[in-house]
Structure 1
């Protein structure tokens, strides 16, 4: 019997009651109907063969022969299954190549809710450890010293192995000793850090293939200790674009050249420190740098366009500048841009 002749192991279970009854009748030498489906099945499986000495009767084959036949059938299926398993990776790679050829970006897991700090930490640590190209993080709130201490080895190792690490903090973070220490260590291994004096989303984006972001309730509040996690490429690219917009408007944080206003014993800026700008003027300057016109800036401040223009003119005169570009150049290099 050739390999092609071996039947697939579809009927290798124990005999059914009907089959067992037919088998027993054959053993007794009874004449059987050759068209009976049950008998046909037993003959096909090699358990009974026609008796050449008595037409209409059947004799059983050796049970050792049955065993070898059943074993061969199962082995055939196992070989086929093994070959099928071995071919799966190549099949999947072929499908992947076709998807990439047509720029199709599937979402393998959609978006998952991580409802607690341990789950958020476990997933972010696992993802950051597998980063190959880029880690983007934006942290709008202060980070606790113990959190920064725990994150430093992981972030440091990623930067050392060549991953581009960019982190965005609020400007007030420059007053945080733990954050200054983290920034000092990370920038020494090539990470970049900037600060922005306005609110932005809390994000972690890894290789633009994984993203973690805040969970907003229906009333607009942020759910504490929870995060959304997505591998949806479109969402990851959108969040990375948002990060880039904030990054371009932020100020570099280089610890060696860092500056902060003189502080009192309680850590608050000294009201008597020398300042050129008012808080309103600083908001206006940030708006100008962001490309907003005076009308839009005024709307955000709740004042008229004329008031914004007057404030710009007043500050320009106080500094002795003839043009707004001179004023914005001064602002870009002034330590006052770090004030709130």
Structure 2
């Protein structure tokens, strides 16, 4: 494919037959290469010469091919943020919840970790068709994985389909990778996202278990159909934005994920969030977060975190002239 592109660069226009004859490559192979180069935007049809191609500068090809994809990704992220805000509105429901031991139709609050585990185990044992899981916060602890693997393998062996979401940082956890490999071999699908999302499980599209912010032992069990439907819609939006968890990956995969993490950290820096807030949101340690921030500062050519935040904020404001910057509020933002 590279040889065909190099050859096209040497002429005003070229046909597949020209390339095959000049380079001594079989015509079917050249035709496949030209098709792939056209898909990448590196070749375009010559309007003045039927069946001929004209080479395109890679930067122009990237603008034409990648730009629409980037716009779609930005639109998806905007939709994710909108749904995130909507989901947070249900915090009012949590605040109005009855005292532990009480309940109301469709929504149940469980305060104790033991009771939460029992409820999840019971729902998993009764699950018949599908379980959806989102687990933010990076790699999971060994004892949690040990408890989960037996339960999840039992569901998979019964024919239950399983989709699980982690954050990108979970890819660097050996224990989590081993767990993903085991469940993937039994048909589970696992993907990752760069940003934080809500901890939840959904069984048979009828019952959802939602984690309680600030209380890892508590949970909300939702059976109300409209709320469950909303939670499912949110999960599906996360899912289409996520990327598959690779069972095997090379140095380039590691570099790609690291770059995605840096891009997200850059955005959060421009929002004025503290190192601790960014680390929590990204599912990584503060030390790892600060290492990424140091590399970002080095790229920007600045010496202080304040300079980096100011520069990134200015750049972001310049690209969004109609949107005034959001002032820092609360303890999550740096002063």
TM-score (norm 1): 0.45
As a proportion of its length, which structure holds more helix? 2
Larger-Rg structure: 1
TM-score (norm 2): 0.46
